[in-house]
């Protein structure tokens, strides 16, 4: 996937609270797992999934954006910083806070433009 490590210590983060489909891979298991990303910024995101992932694990993921955005997906790696078991009336699973640990150079500049709002055409 062409990842590079990154130190993403950016002040005044713009956050987007929007549900985004996420496909992720854990360890040596080649089968994709599904989740929903939310509360995303340039440092990381919240991931909701029924799959249990240990704190400290690094996962590869693809975050998909809805039709109508110039950025269709963002490939990255993330480290699980925290995990919370959730149990509602119609859903049981986990909420993870992930920090991006590496990124795909191809989409990184488009993602930065999307997050900072410098390029409004990213929204159309």
**What is the value of pTM for the model shown?**
0.78
Pick among 2.40.10.220, 1.10.4030.10, 3.30.70.1450, 3.90.245.10: CATH of 15-115: 2.40.10.220
78, 49 Cβ separation under 8 angstroms: no
CA 79 from centroid of its chain's CA atoms: 10
Domain residue spans in the chain? Answer: 15-115
- In angstroms, the CA 111 to CA 113 distance is 5
pLDDT digits (tens, 9 = 90+) for 52-87: 999 999 999 999 887 777 778 888 899 999 999 998
């Amino acid at each position: 996937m062409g990842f590079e490590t990154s130190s993403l210590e950016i002040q005044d983060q713009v956050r987007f609270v929007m549900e985004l489909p996420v496909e992720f891979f854990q360890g040596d298991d080649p089968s994709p797992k599904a989740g929903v990303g939310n509360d995303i910024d340039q440092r990381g995101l919240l991931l909701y999934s029924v799959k249990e992932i240990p704190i400290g694990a690094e996962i590869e993921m693809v975050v998909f954006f809805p039709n109508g955005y110039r950025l269709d997906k963002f490939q990255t790696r993330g480290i699980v910083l925290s995990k919370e078991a959730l149990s509602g009336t119609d859903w049981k699973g986990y909420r993870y806070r992930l920090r991006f640990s590496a990124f795909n150079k191809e989409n990184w500049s488009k993602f930065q433009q999307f997050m900072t709002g410098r390029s409004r055409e990213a929204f159309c």
